[in-house]
């Protein structure tokens, strides 16, 4: 063969290879290409079926490798308490999530799914996770940097279980404590809620200065966040869950919108729509607020997700009119729908609506573009599968220390002796005998509240691992101090035992969402009886474990010292740290403490403001640290 011929063959071979390589080359899979181009390339290849699949979020119970693959499902969630098995380990979680993910990767285009969960105070559905105080307690700390660190720790514990997306933070501004979700709100004051959006850079990572406002998630140790519930969830009449928020435009923007501006600037990846209505219009159908305000005015570029069966509630009484719900929610601007069970009904309905031009293709493209942007930004295409390498973060010593610090800083001291000259707290570590009493003294489940292990929370000590307030007290006092514990002691016992003082821990039992709505806000029995029986005879410190202010005025004269501990989570040691003076009290009320429920709603700044303890109140003590 002549030299030239060999050269020519060479060229043909090289070109052939390039051609073959080109046919295989998929720009969207190339991480060196700009995200805008990757999205465009991928969308150009997608069928309507594949696009609609991206818009669907299903519950893990109805999910499988096959379902993910067959329906091109874009996302899976764990509802409250939806776990792969009881006391599942990090590895069990990773295996489950990976199994679904492999179904997604086995599709024609291999678009990874994103898995979401309510990690609202730590990775709280997961056994042995660190449980941080609920948001109301974090509001009392007035410490956004602490909250940011909690976000970072939560991200690690969520990733430890293979999950990449959290339905947090809740940036509701709860304006009425009768609302069962008041503990999910940092404060009645929009400025505190706004400040606490610092949890977003904790969860997602710090947004680069040149991309303010663009969704941002910094890789494998961070998670996509979700500002919820847009908008006005904390403003419903009488605090009735999912009800109507009647408010003028100025009030809406200055109170309920406050946290959203900051969340968008900080690059929050997603926003969840509220079940509630705004001036009579269901938020899930509110085009002006979702497409108009959030997407156009605020220029939010992440994706908007519905709440759990949220679109169904647009037509709750119109049985069989799910298609109407799909039409109005998608046209309002919702991008991903937390269906989460009857996904074929949703897919068929939306497909019909698009094919018959009720929902424009441009709307579908907007939704899919936003979903893909988040997936690309966070590196899901490059790292779709989790491994076990982060398992040790779950409930780690370091995270529990952080939670303990948060508990210390969240405690609000409301009363400390009859006057400032005779403080009851801090208590001496060394005395003869102290009494610990109350339904919440030795109860890790009550400390955690709702959204822990299960949706409604699980009272008792079997649900997960942590330190109860009783064991924290035992760990803290001098070995010679006798600690007697009786949950509900009778008067004779209290009288006959010469206790130097008593610590009474009572409060609300666990609840979530509408199950926590309450018009009377009383502590359930036997709490008041225990308090009355003990405080009548022994110098007593009452520690309240509640998601909100409760009726306490009638008991106040009998109580020597009163501490609001909110829902502190698994690290009860933080309570004893402060009661016994290792650290000082520093927390400030994130809410107004009412005298009687008929004053409600009553918030700081209201013209008729006559609280028992005003917003911002909190006595301080010195600690040795």
Residue 211 is encoded by which pair of tokens?
């991309």
CB of 79 to ligand BGC, least distance (A): 3
Given candidates 307, 405, 508, 577, which one binds ligand BGC under the rule CB under 6 A? 307
- Candidates 78-86, 285-293, 377-385, 475-483 — which segment interacts with ligand BGC by CB under 6 A? 78-86
Q: Largest Cα–Cα distance in the chain? A: 114
CB 227 → ligand BGC: shortest distance, Å? 11
Cβ neighbours for 313, distance < 8 A, ≥ 6 positions apart: 242, 275, 282, 284, 325
> Cβ 223 to ligand BGC, closest distance in Å?
14
- The residues in 321-360 that bind ligand BGC, with binding defined as CB under 6 A, are none
Long-range contacts of 46-49, Cβ-Cβ distance < 8 Å, separation of 24 or more:
46/109, 46/368, 48/351, 48/354, 48/355, 48/364, 49/351
Looking at 73-81, 156-164, 290-298, 570-578, which segment touches ligand BGC (CB under 6 A)? Answer: 73-81
CB atoms within 10 A of CB 460: 11
The residue number with the shortest CB distance to ligand BGC is 79
How is the beta sheet containing 501-507 ordered, strand by strand?
Answer: 412-416, 561-564, 540-545, 501-507, 433-437, 482-486
Place of tokens 């729908």: 337
Binding test (CB under 6 A) with ligand BGC, winner from 72, 308, 381, 566: 308
Q: Please identify, among the stretches 80-88, 285-293, 400-408, 411-419, the one whose residues bind ligand BGC according to the rule CB under 6 A.
A: 80-88
Query: Directed axis angle between helix 397-410 and helix 144-160, to 10°?
Result: 150
Position 517 contacts ligand BGC (CB under 6 A): no
Shortest distance (Å) from residue 187 CB to ligand BGC:
18
| H-assigned helices in 246-321 | 249-251, 258-265, 287
In this structure, what token pair is assigned to residue 356? 């018959």
**Of the residues 52, 57, 76, 80, which one makes contact with ligand BGC according to CB under 6 A:** 80
Known catalytic residue: 92?
Answer: no
CA distances, 165 to each of 176, 411, 498 (Å): 29, 30, 54
Q: Which of 157, 242, 513, 517 is the catalytic position?
A: 513
Tokens representing 136 are 């109301």
Residue whose CB is less far from ligand BGC, 39 or 56 = 56
To 5 degrees, how large is the angle CA 506–CA 510–CA 516?
Answer: 110
Looking at the Cβ atoms of 228 and 588, the one nearer to ligand BGC is: 228
The minimum distance between CB 564 and ligand BGC, in angstroms, equals 24
Mask of contacts with ligand BGC, 364-393, x by CB under 6 A? ------------------------------
Nearest 5°: phi and psi at 538? -130, 145
Residue 167 Cβ, how far from ligand BGC at the closest point, in Å?
Answer: 4
Q: Which helix (H) or strand (E) holds 324?
A: helix 322-332
CB 47 within 8 A of CB 368: no
* Nearest in space to 228 (alpha carbons), one of 270, 178, 195, 196: 270
Residues 522-561 close enough to bind ligand BGC by CB under 6 A = none
Cβ proximity of 439 and 445 under 8 Å: no
Q: Does 455 bind ligand BGC (CB under 6 A)?
A: yes
Report how far apart, in Å, the C-alpha atoms of 439 and of each of 353, 475, 542 are: 54, 20, 12
What is the closest distance, in whole angstroms, from the C-beta atom of residue 82 to ligand BGC in the complex? 6
Q: Which is nearer to ligand BGC, 225 or 255 (CB)?
A: 225
Footprint of ligand BGC on 114-143 (CB under 6 A): 118
Q: Using omega within 30 degrees of 0 as the cis cutoff, is the peptide bond preceding 45 cis?
A: no
Ranges of beta strands (E only) in 461-592 are 482-486, 501-507, 540-545, 561-564
Rounded to a whole number of angstroms, the minimum distance from the CB of residue 286 to ligand BGC is 16
Tokens representing residue 551 in the block: 């009726």
Of 172 and 579, CB closest to ligand BGC: 172
Please confirm, yes or no, whether 59 is among the known catalytic residues: no
CA distance 540 to 435: 9
CB of 59 to ligand BGC, least distance (A): 8
Which of 307, 335, 508, 577 is an active site residue?
307
Q: Which of 155, 110, 166 has the alpha carbon at shortest distance from 381? A: 110
CB nearer to ligand BGC: pick between 28 and 167: 167
Strands ordered across the beta sheet of 281-282:
244-245, 277-278, 281-282
Whichever of 71 and 167 has its CB closer to ligand BGC, that residue is: 167
Residue placing its CB nearer to ligand BGC in the complex, 207 or 225: 225
**Residue 393 or 451 having the CB closest to ligand BGC:** 451
Question: What is the rounded distance in angstroms from the CA atom of residue 275 to the CA atom of residue 340?
Answer: 15
Q: Which is nearer to ligand BGC, 80 or 527 (CB)?
A: 80
Interface mask (CB under 6 A) for ligand BGC, residues 209-248, using x and -? -------------------x--------------------
DSSP character for 303? Answer: E
CB 118, min distance to ligand BGC, A:
5
| Closer residue to ligand BGC (CB): 307 or 577 | 307
Stretch that binds ligand BGC, among 76-84, 96-104, 261-269, 426-434 (CB under 6 A): 76-84
- Interface with ligand BGC (CB under 6 A), residue total 11
Using the rule CB under 6 A, which residue among 81, 379, 417, 528 binds ligand BGC? 81
Which residue from 115, 167, 183, 322 is in contact with ligand BGC, where contact means CB under 6 A?
Answer: 167
For the annotated catalytic residues, the residue numbers are 307, 513
- The residues that touch ligand BGC, with contacts defined as CB under 6 A, are 79-82, 118, 167, 228, 307-308, 455, 513
């Amino acid at each position: 063969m002549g030299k030239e011929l060999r050269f020519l063959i060479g060229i043909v071979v090289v070109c052939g290879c390039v051609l073959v390589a080109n046919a295989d080359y998929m720009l969207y899979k190339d991480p060196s290409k700009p995200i805008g181009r990757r999205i465009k390339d991928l969308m150009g290849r997608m069928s309507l079926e594949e696009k609609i699949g991206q818009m669907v979020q299903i519950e893990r119970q109805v999910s499988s490798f096959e379902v993910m693959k067959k329906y091109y499902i874009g996302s899976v969630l764990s509802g409250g308490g939806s776990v792969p098995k009881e006391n599942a380990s990090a590895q069990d979680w990773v295996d489950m999530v990976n199994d679904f993910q492999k179904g997604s990767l086995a599709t024609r285009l291999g678009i990874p799914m994103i898995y979401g969960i309510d990690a609202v105070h730590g990775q709280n559905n997961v056994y042995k996770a660190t449980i941080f105080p609920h948001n109301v307690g974090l509001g009392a700390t007035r410490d956004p940097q602490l909250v940011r660190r909690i976000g970072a720790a939560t991200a690690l514990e969520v990733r430890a279980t293979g999950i990449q997306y959290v339905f947090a933070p809740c940036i509701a501004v709860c304006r009425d404590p009768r609302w069962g979700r008041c503990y999910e709100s940092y404060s009645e004051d929009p400025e505190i809620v706004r400040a606490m959006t610092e949890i977003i850079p904790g969860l997602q990572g710090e947004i680069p200065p040149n991309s303010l406002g663009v969704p941002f998630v910094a890789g494998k140790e961070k998670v996509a966040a979700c500002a919820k519930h847009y908008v006005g969830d904390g403003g419903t009449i009488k605090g009735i869950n999912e009800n109507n928020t009647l408010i003028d435009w100025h009030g809406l923007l200055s109170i309920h919108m406050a946290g959203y501006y900051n969340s968008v600037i900080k690059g929050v990846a997603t926003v969840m729509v509220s079940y509630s209505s705004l001036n009579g219009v269901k938020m899930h159908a509110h085009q002006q607020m979702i497409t108009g305000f959030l997407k156009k005015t605020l220029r939010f570029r992440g994706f908007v997700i519905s709440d759990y069966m949220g679109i169904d509630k647009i037509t709750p009484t119109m049985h069989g009119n799910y298609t109407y719900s799909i039409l109005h929610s998608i046209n309002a601007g919702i991008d991903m729908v937390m269906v989460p069970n009857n996904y074929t009904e949703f897919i068929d309905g939306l497909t019909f609506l698009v094919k018959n031009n009720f929902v424009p293709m441009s709307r579908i493209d907007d939704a899919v573009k936003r979903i893909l942007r988040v997936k690309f930004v966070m590196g899901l295409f490059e790292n779709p599968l989790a491994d076990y390498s982060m398992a040790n973060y779950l409930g780690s010593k370091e995270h529990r220390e952080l939670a303990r610090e948060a508990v210390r800083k969240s405690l609000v001291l409301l009363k400390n002796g009859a006057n400032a000259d005779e403080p009851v707290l801090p208590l001496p570590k060394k005395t003869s005998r102290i009494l610990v009493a109350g339904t919440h003294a030795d109860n890790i489940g009550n400390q955690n509240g709702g959204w822990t292990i299960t949706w409604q929370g699980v009272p008792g000590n079997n649900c997960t691992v942590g330190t109860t307030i009783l064991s924290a007290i035992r760990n803290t006092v001098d070995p010679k101090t006798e600690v007697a514990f009786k949950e509900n002691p009778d008067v004779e016992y209290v009288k006959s035992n010469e206790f130097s003082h008593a610590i009474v821990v009572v409060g609300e039992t666990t609840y979530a969402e509408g199950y926590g709505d309450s018009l009377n806000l009383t502590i359930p029995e036997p709490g008041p009886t225990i308090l009355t029986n003990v405080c009548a005879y022994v110098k007593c410190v009452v520690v309240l474990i509640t998601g909100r202010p409760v009726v306490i005025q009638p008991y106040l004269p009998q109580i020597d010292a009163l501490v609001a501990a909110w829902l502190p989570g698994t690290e009860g040691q933080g309570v004893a740290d402060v009661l016994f003076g290792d650290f000082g009290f520093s927390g400030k009320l994130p809410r107004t403490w009412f005298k009687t429920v008929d004053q409600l709603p009553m918030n700081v700044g209201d013209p008729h403001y006559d609280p028992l303890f005003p917003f911002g109140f909190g006595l301080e003590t010195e600690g040795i640290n």
